[in-house]
Structure 1
Amino acid sequence: MITLHHIPYSRSMRIMWLLEEMGLDYEVETYAITDGSLRDPAYLAKSPGGRAPALEIDGQVIFESPAITEYLCETRPEHGLGRLAGEAERIAFLQWLSYAETQASTIASLNLQMVFLRPPAKASPVVLKLEVARLRASVKVIEAALDGQDWLLPSGFSAADTMLGFNLFAVPFFVDLTPFPNVRAYIARIQARPAYQAVLAKEGPQNFYAQDFYPVPEV
């Protein structure tokens, strides 16, 4: 049995989505950021950084979503969601896996400063403005890449979309997507996928974000 160690609406949602796209059976063990379960020695033995996801599969445990994604694609190539060595889109595929983490690091910073910090802690408006600008710039890259195509790779949907597409659940809480029609259409295509809908049904209502949009506070 495949077991996904998971925090709802976190980066481990990428792996849940990929497993659904592949039609694989799996179990979920759910954790929370605030209850200390990620610091339990038993969990740290699976994910030394104390983060989700970790995936138990094929008699081993893999942590970090890009590594898990690449492993699933390479060991289950019949699903056609990876781009293997020697294939024309291999480099683009790997680049998008890494780009997803680059963008996610900015989202994580904004989550920490705008969602999790509580008084008397106070984020710097100047830093927040820079971080939002960085996130907006990362969306521009996706907007350009999607010009004339439905998915990140010209050949069609792949695990690059599950890696990066997950980020676009969080991006609209910090960046107005009105100027990005290609990205908005991409999000609509993602939301229409049965596997993505299955993930949302399993996740249930999100309680991560308490408001629809987090504006940068005035200096």
Structure 2
Amino acid sequence: MTPILHHVPGSRSLRILWLLEEMGITPEVRPYQIADGSLRAAEYLERSPAGRVPALEIDGRVIYESGAITEYLCETRPDHGLGRAPGDVDRVPFLEAMHYAETMAHIIAGLNLQWVFLRDPAQRSDVVAKIDARRLAGTMAPLEATFARQDHVLASGFSAADTMLGFNFDAAGHFVRLEAFPHIRSWMARMEERPALRRARALDGPQKFYDRDFYAP
């Protein structure tokens, strides 16, 4: 049975779309929009209690939270080599990357609130926006150092740690000048060459919440 991915274009559900494509699985994509209330519908809240994407219907169950979905897919489909099992030398860095991706995404969510989702721009705090942009840049600095010495998040090669972080860099570029992170930009260019990401991009669809390339207080 074809998996069903509940998805908002340009959101962190791209992580799962990309990972599935890396596994040779093309899901049925059911798109939503953040601003139209569809994620608050009772039917959707049964799938994802916080009213967020992604939610994935697969293997006769519904899973929500991108980190949990990623770990489940890697553990149930180990032949693809995209996770790192207990005892693997990169197991701890793999788990750290899973959760570090959400640390970054939490800051991005705050910036999205400031710049995109406050209905009255006068409510925005330039001070908070500047602080969060600096915090986001601070989370990117260790990854810049990582990509200066290796091609992927893990020393052992491409993994779901890369698919988890890909969305973050897409979004971060709206708030942090990527020119200051040449190794991250090189990583992003390498990832864009992956056929699975190209297929995921084609399925993703146009995002409708960012109305400019860069937001500067």
Q: Structure 2 length normalisation: TM-score? A: 0.96
Q: Which residue identity is paired with 1:141?
A: P
Looking at structure 2, the residues matched to 143 and 78 of structure 1 have their Cα atoms a distance apart, in angstroms, of: 30
Cα offset for 1:205?
3.2
Q: Which letter does structure 1 place at the counterpart of 2:143? A: I
Which residue does the alignment assign to 1:105? 106
**Deviation at residue 206 of structure 1 after TM alignment:** 3.1
Q: How far 1:145 sits from its partner (Å)?
A: 1.4
Residue 9 of structure 2 contacts residue 206 of structure 2 at CA under 8 Å; is this kept in 1?
Answer: no
Distance 1:124 1:205 in 2: 28
Q: Distance in 1 between the 2:89 and 2:121 partners?
A: 52
**1:66-215 to 2 correspondences below 5 Å:** 66-119=67-120, 121-215=122-216
SS class of match (2:93): helix
Q: Distance in 1 between matches of 2:27 and 2:189?
A: 26
Residue 44 (structure 2) pairs with residue 43 (structure 1) = yes
Aligned-pair CA distance for 1:204 = 3.1
Q: Deviations over 1:17-44 (max 9, x none)?
A: 1001110132111111112111111111
Give, in whole Å, the separation in 1 of the partners of 2:80 and 2:155: 17
Q: Secondary structure at the match of 1:48?
A: coil
Q: Using CA pairs below 8 Å that are at least 6 residues apart, which structure has the higher relative contact order?
A: 2
Whichever structure has more helix as a proportion of its residues is 2
The AA in structure 1 aligned to 2:148 is: D
Measure the CA separation in 1 of the matches of 2:204 and 2:166. 16
Query: 1:68 and 1:112 mapped to 2: Cα distance?
Result: 25
Question: Residues of 2 paired with 1:207 and 1:87: CA distance?
Answer: 40
1:132–1:120 Cα change, 3 Å? closer
| Aligned residue type for 1:127 | V
Name the amino acid aligned to 1:84.
Answer: A
Mapped to 2, the partners of 1:135 and 1:188 lie a distance apart of 20
Measure, in 2, the Cα distance between the counterparts of 1:60 and 1:126. Answer: 43
Determine the C-alpha separation between the residues in 1 that align with 2:152 and 2:48: 31
* Matched residue type, 2:21: E
| Pairs aligned (count) | 216
Q: CA-to-partner distance for each residue in 1:82-113, whole Å, 9 max, x for gaps?
A: 00111110000000000000000101110110
Question: TM-score scaled to structure 1, two decimals?
Answer: 0.95
Gaps of 5+ in 2: none
Larger displacement relative to structure 2 (52-61 or 68-77): 52-61
Worse overlay, 72-81 or 138-147: 138-147
- Return the alpha-carbon distance in structure 1 between the equivalents of residues 121 and 177 of structure 2: 28
Query: What is the rounded CA distance, in whole Å, between the counterparts of 1:121 and 1:105 in structure 2?
Result: 23
Aligned CA distance change for structure 1 residues 111 and 120 (closer, same or farther; 3 Å): closer
In 1, distance between residues paired with 2:205 and 2:43? Answer: 27
- How many percent identity over aligned positions? 57
C-alpha deviations, 1:40-88, integer Å up to 9, x for none?
Answer: 1111111111111111111111110000000000000011100011111
CA RMSD, 1 decimal: 1.2
Q: Which runs of 5+ in 1 are unaligned?
A: none
Contact 2:9 2:208 in 1 (8 A): no
Pairwise CA distance, 1:118? 2.9
